[in-house]
Structure 1
Amino acid sequence: MATWDELAEYVRAEYEVLSDKPGEIRLLYTFDEESDRTQVMIVAREELDRKYEWVQIATPLGLARNVDLYALLDAIGHTTVSGGAAIMGDHIVIRHSLPLENLDINEFTDPLTLIAGAADELESEFFGGDEY
Structure 2
Amino acid sequence: MANWSELMTYIRSNYKISDEDKGYCRLLFDVGDGRSQFILLFHQTLNGGLEDWVEIQSPVGNATDLPLLDVLKDVGRMVVGGLSVEENLALLKHSVPLANLDVNEFERPMRLLLHSADNLERKYLGSDRL
Q: What amino acid is aligned across from residue 69 of structure 2 in structure 1?
A: Y
Residue 91 of structure 1 corresponds to: 89
Number of corresponding residues: 129
Tell me the C-alpha RMSD between the 2 structures. Answer: 1.3
Identical-residue share of aligned pairs (%): 35
Q: Which runs of 4+ in 1 moved over 4 A?
A: none
Residue 40 of structure 2 corresponds to: 42
Give CA-to-partner distance per residue, 1:55-81, whole Å, 9 cap, x none. Answer: 000011111111111011011112x21
How much has 1:129 moved relative to structure 2? 1.3
Structure 2: stretches of 5+ with no match in the other structure: none
Task: Summarize the Cα distance change of 1:61–1:77 in structure 2 as closer, same or farther, 3 Å threshold.
Answer: same
Structure 1: stretches of 5+ with no match in the other structure: none
How much has 1:15 moved relative to structure 2? 1.3
Q: Does 1:123 align with 2:121?
A: yes
Give CA-to-partner distance per residue, 1:3-61, whole Å, 9 cap, x none. Answer: 100101111221121101000000012346xx543211101100112221000000111
Q: Does 1:103 align with 2:81?
A: no
- State the TM-score, normalized to the length of structure 2: 0.93
Residue 9 of structure 1 corresponds to: 9
Contact 1:45–1:54 (8 Å) recurs in 2: yes
